[in-house]
Amino acid sequence: MLGLEYNTAVVLAGTAALGLAAGSTGSLALLRRRALLADALSHATLPGICIAFMVTGSRSFAALLTGALITGILGVLVVVMISRRGKIREDAAIGIVLGTFFGGGIALSGIIQRRGADAAQAGLDSFLLGQTAGMLLSDAITIGVIALITVALVVLLGKEWKLICFDPDFAGVEGWPVRALDLLLMLLITVTVVIALPAVGVVLTAAILIIPATAARLWVDRLGPMLILASIFGVLSGSVGTVISAGTAGLPAGPVIVLSASAIFVVSLLFSPRRGIIARARSRVAQRRRQERRRLLGSIYEGIEESHVPMIGEAELARRRSWGPGRMRKHLEKASRRGLIVWGSTGIALTDSGKTLAEKIVRDERIWQQYLLSQAQIDRDLIDLDAAEIGQILPKAMVEELEAVLRAKGRLPGAAAIDTETPGGAS
Phi, psi of 298 (to 5 degrees): -60, -45
Whichever of 5 and 381 has its CB closer to other proteins, that residue is 381
Candidates 146, 394, 406, 412: give the one binding other proteins (CB under 8 A): 394
CB of 288 to other proteins, least distance (A): 20
Residue 287 in contact with other proteins, rule: CB under 8 A: no
Residue 259 in contact with other proteins, rule: CB under 8 A: no
CB of 226 to other proteins, least distance (A): 5
Whichever of 121 and 392 has its CB closer to other proteins, that residue is 392
Candidates 200, 223, 261, 332: give the one binding other proteins (CB under 8 A): 223
CA distance 27 to 215: 10
Alpha-carbon distances, residue 69 vs 64, 192, 224 (angstroms)? 9, 10, 28
The amino acid at residue 76 is: V
3-state secondary structure of 177: coil
324 burial type by CB count under 10 A (0-12 exposed, 13-18 middle, 19+ buried): exposed
Whichever of 352 and 400 has its CB closer to other proteins, that residue is 400
> Would the CA dihedral through 170, 175, 181, 182 be positive or negative?
positive
Candidates 106, 184, 232, 398: give the one binding other proteins (CB under 8 A): 398
Residue 173 in contact with other proteins, rule: CB under 8 A: yes
Long-range contacts from 159-163, C-beta under 8 angstroms, 24+ separation: 161/28, 161/32, 161/185, 162/223
Residue 89 in contact with other proteins, rule: CB under 8 A: no
Whichever of 163 and 196 has its CB closer to other proteins, that residue is 163
Residue 391 in contact with other proteins, rule: CB under 8 A: yes
Whichever of 137 and 220 has its CB closer to other proteins, that residue is 220
DSSP 359-415: HHHHHHHHHHHHHHHH-SS--GGG--TT-S-GGGTS-HHHHHHHHHHHHHTT--TTT
Stretch that binds other proteins, among 129-137, 161-169, 202-210, 239-247 (CB under 8 A): 161-169
Candidates 81, 110, 174, 415: give the one binding other proteins (CB under 8 A): 174
Whichever of 248 and 377 has its CB closer to other proteins, that residue is 377
Site string for other proteins, 360-389 (x = CB under 8 A): ----------------xx-x-xx-------
The b/e string for 397-414 (b: 16+ C-beta within 10 A; e otherwise) is ebbebbbebbeeeebbbe
Site string for other proteins, 402-421 (x = CB under 8 A): --x-----------------
Site string for other proteins, 117-136 (x = CB under 8 A): --------------------
Long-range contacts from 111-119, C-beta under 8 angstroms, 24+ separation: 112/50, 112/53, 112/54, 119/59
Q: Are 247 and 253 in contact (CB under 8 A)?
A: no
Residue 273 in contact with other proteins, rule: CB under 8 A: no
User: Quick one: which of 268, 246, 192, 217 has its CA closest to 20?
Assistant: 192
Residues 28-87 that bind other proteins (CB under 8 A): 31
The DSSP 8-state label assigned to residue 312 in this structure reads: B
Residue 177 in contact with other proteins, rule: CB under 8 A: yes
Residue 286 in contact with other proteins, rule: CB under 8 A: no
User: Quick one: which of 203, 204, 223 has its CA closest to 213?
Assistant: 223
Stretch that binds other proteins, among 44-52, 197-205, 214-222, 301-309 (CB under 8 A): 214-222
The amino acid at residue 163 is: L
Phi, psi of 130 (to 5 degrees): 90, 135
Whichever of 27 and 239 has its CB closer to other proteins, that residue is 27
Q: Are 373 and 393 in contact (CB under 8 A)?
A: no
Whichever of 322 and 377 has its CB closer to other proteins, that residue is 377
Residue 164 in contact with other proteins, rule: CB under 8 A: no
The b/e string for 112-141 (b: 16+ C-beta within 10 A; e otherwise) is beeeeeeebeebbebbbebbbeebeeebbe
Candidates 89, 222, 273, 326: give the one binding other proteins (CB under 8 A): 222
Residues that bind other proteins (CB under 8 A): 31, 156-157, 159-160, 162-163, 165-167, 169-170, 172-177, 217, 220-223, 226, 376-377, 379, 381-382, 391-398, 400-401, 404
